[in-house]
Amino acid sequence: TNTSRKYKSDWRSYLSESKIQDFTRIDSDIIYVSTIHKAKGKEFYNVFIMLENFDASTDEAKRKLYVAMTRAKSNLSIHVDSNSVDGISVENLERIEDNSYHNPPLEIVMQLGLKDVVLDYFLNRQHTLRELRSGDRLHIDGPECFDSTGHRVLRFSNKFLVEIETKRNLGYEVKSVAVNFMVYWLKEGAEEESLIVLPEVWFVKRLHTVISKTITS
């Protein structure tokens, strides 16, 4: 690989997968969650790789796994639910097989990006949005969210509505929504930037789902 050559396609792919928090400074006491692609070029003392239903039979999959593994400077832990890494043999390697059942988390938090909200929805709500601050709680009603005074401030995209339905099928419901980031977005062809809201959404496991799983497990 010629590392001195840069490709615009790689740069666009990196930006499309990035979130605002990806560009903040990483402290030693912060857990940084990343896709393998976005971890390229970075190094960490401790790396945990989560491989779910991972198929390492193709060259592309092996390349991605190599990229992920070489991000570790000191310690590397691979959590996998298949035999895709059974062929690895290195010094000081420790294998631990865990056959116990792990309940799904009781709460899940998602930090939404530009593709999770309807951007044009914000254009006619600039005055209301200027009153919002990071951390402000929002009231959700269907695909829309309202501020404390009852004003509409954001609408979820169809993409995120599908995500909500997916979570609902897994036994989760939306617990709360809050303002995460207030950022400026420039619509293509527009002359001025518009303020938009990127929220944080908390999902909680429905109680009857937890009880049912506990009884049957």
Question: In order along the chain (217 residues), what is the average pLDDT of each group of 10 residues?
Answer: 64 70 59 80 89 87 90 91 81 86 89 95 96 96 97 97 96 96 94 95 80 54
Beta bridge partners of 77: 48
> Which CATH fold topology does 107-205 show?
Alpha-Beta Plaits (3.30.70)
* pLDDT at res. 130: 95
CATH 3.30.70 region(s) of the chain? Answer: 107-205
* pLDDT at res. 44: 87
* pLDDT at res. 121: 97
* pLDDT at res. 48: 93
* pLDDT at res. 89: 81
* pLDDT at res. 43: 86
Q: How many CA atoms lie within 13 A of 119 on its CB side?
A: 12
The pTM is what?
Answer: 0.64
